Amino acid sequence: MKVLVIGPGGREHAIVRSLLEDPNVSEVHAAPGNAGIAKLVPTHAIDGNDPAAVAQLARKLAVDLVVVGPEAPLAAGVSDAVREAGIPVFGPSKAAAQLEASKAFAKEVMAEAGVPTAMARVATNAEEAADALDTFGAPHVVKDDGLAAGKGVVVTNDRAEALAHAQACFDAGGTVVIEEFLDGPEVSLFVLCDGRTTVPLSPAQDFKRIFDNDEGPNTGGMGAYTPLDWAPEGLVQEVIDRVAQPTVDEMARRGTPFVGVLYCGLALTSRGTRVIEFNVRFGDPETQAVLARLKTPLGSLMLAAAKGELDTAEELRWSKDSAVAVVVAAENYPDTPRTGDRITGLKKAESLEGVHVIHAGTTLDEEGRVVSAGGRVLAVVALGSDLVEARERAYDGVELVQLEGSQYRTDIAGKAARGEIRVSTNTGIIPAVKR
Ligand code: AMP
Ligand code: GLY
């Protein structure tokens, strides 16, 4: 099978890497890709957010499957255009992508499907925002209703800061969702969907804030690890039963079936498991860690999802190893990141046992050298027999990568490796069990 992967980031590099390991995949193309992807497969310089351009490229290459990585092309209707061209596509339609593109829409679907989530109110002006903030109390959670690359959310004890964020969204012509604060550890669970059937991947944890100890502003994600030894044993099944399947059923009922990855962003709160958000694609950088452990051929799984045949897919197989991904970000990320700097030490990092490098914001300069071209520049991914070993290997790799001004968190998977994550036993499901 021939596959075309759309997107420029680390998630897409990880997907391409896994597709190349699938014996049923004969050829992979990417658009637009990045420097890391370009080392593996042919890349095509088209606008990946343009539905007509993607459909045209898919037809020209005569691919059997298109995989759409990021949210922007999904929300723009890229999947619809490819499907209309008669080519199977892994990724939801524009209508189904509203689950991520509009937080208000996601809340409506969750309410209809009985999915547990934070209480929330939509506000369209300062008065409504102030009223909602006072109803829920601190800590305040204010979310831009539209797509904001993980950066549209402000969580703060400062009422004035919360109001200022809401006002900035109103000034930009948007609305906000204000909700109750959810305590407890967060989990990312990716669920493959074919419109009817749901197949969960192994859960992961992401690190959203820029600095150690979850300080500083939110980012797209600074690191991830999987599996979660500390997670309650019944967690995945609970999320399928109470979150993913009801949502997929509700989307089908509405005539907008969900095909692709339903990313369930969860908080394991003292009052039970709650959805923080849905995304309609793989998480970045969780994918870099999760796919490193997946042994089932990825292309065949994605094609089965695209064709509505996930019920026939074999049971997923996973490596026994743990995986840790540490993101190296450019200076000044998540603000305006510094770009155009040379990156060295990549080969050295990759020569370490169990280590590989996934590119995100990279490109090649005129001399063919790898230079930074985005906020999150790359992730060093390591497998190890447990989290302690995977972590050590990942950080050994990070230390070999040279990029002026770059920054990374030093605490990715740290608490988990030290056994310090606690889930409240009040979750309504089984307490944490060490597996
Ligand atoms: P979102 O874009 O909705 O994923 O939010 C980004 C991040 O903000 C989440 O991963 C959480 O860390 C935090 N967050 C969002 N909503 C809440 C909430 N209701 N309570 C606590 N933290 C939240
Ligand atoms: N890592 C969070 C996200 O992909 O949205």
* pLDDT single digits (tens) 80-91: 999 999 999 999
CB atoms within 10 A of CB 335: 11
Reported for 80-85, long-range contacts at CB under 8 A and 24+ positions apart, including other chains, are 80/51, 81/51, 81/52, 81/54, 81/55, 82/51, 82/54, 82/55, 82/58, 84/55, 85/55, 85/58, 85/59
Residue 266 has pLDDT above 70, yes or no: yes
Query: How buried is 42 (Cβ within 10 angstroms: 0-12 exposed, 13-18 middle, 19+ buried)?
Result: middle
User: What is the model's pLDDT at position 426?
Assistant: 53
Interatomic CA distance for residues 107 and 102, integer angstroms: 9
User: What is the model's pLDDT at position 41?
Assistant: 98
Interatomic CA distance for residues 259 and 336, integer angstroms: 34
For the ranges 142-156, 190-204, 264-278, the lowest mean pLDDT is seen at 142-156
Does residue 222 contact residue 208 with C-beta atoms inside 8 Å? yes
Interatomic CA distance for residues 297 and 289, integer angstroms: 16
User: What is the model's pLDDT at position 435?
Assistant: 34
Residue bearing the CA closest to ligand 2, atom 3? 283
From the CA of 276, how far away is ligand 1's center (Å)? 6
- Averaged pLDDT, 119-126: 93
Ligand 1 lining (C-beta closer than 6 Å): 118, 141, 143, 150, 153, 155, 179, 181-182, 186, 208, 218, 265, 276-277
Indicate which atom in ligand 2 lies nearest the CA of residue 284: 4
Residue bearing the CA closest to ligand 1, atom 3? 277
pLDDT band at residue 431 using 50, 70 and 90 as cut-offs: very low
Query: How buried is 157 (Cβ within 10 angstroms: 0-12 exposed, 13-18 middle, 19+ buried)?
Result: exposed
* pLDDT single digits (tens) 183-198: 999 999 999 999 999 9
From the CA of 148, how far away is ligand 1's center (Å)? 13
Bridge-based pairing of strands 186-194 and 27-32 is unpaired
Q: Which of 284, 287, 327, 358 to mutate to test the pocket of ligand 2 (most atoms within 8 A of CB)?
A: 284
From the CA of 153, how far away is ligand 1's center (Å)? 7
Q: Which two tokens stand for residue 371?
A: 């230079």
Ligand 2 lining (C-beta closer than 6 Å): 150, 206, 220-221, 279, 283-284, 286
* Angle (nearest 5°) at CA 290 between 397 and 263: 130
Residue type, 174: G
For the CA atoms of 239, 245, 250, 256, what is the dihedral angle to 10 degrees? 110
- Averaged pLDDT, 273-299: 97
Q: Is the dihedral of CA 400, 41, 3, 71 positive or negative?
A: positive
Indicate the pTM of the whole model: 0.93
Residue 429 has pLDDT above 50, yes or no: no
CB atoms within 10 A of CB 320: 10
Scored b (16 or more CB within 10 A) or e, 121-139 reads bbbeeeebbbebbeebeee
3-state secondary structure of 262: strand
* 172: Cβ contacts below 8 Å, ≥ 6 apart: none
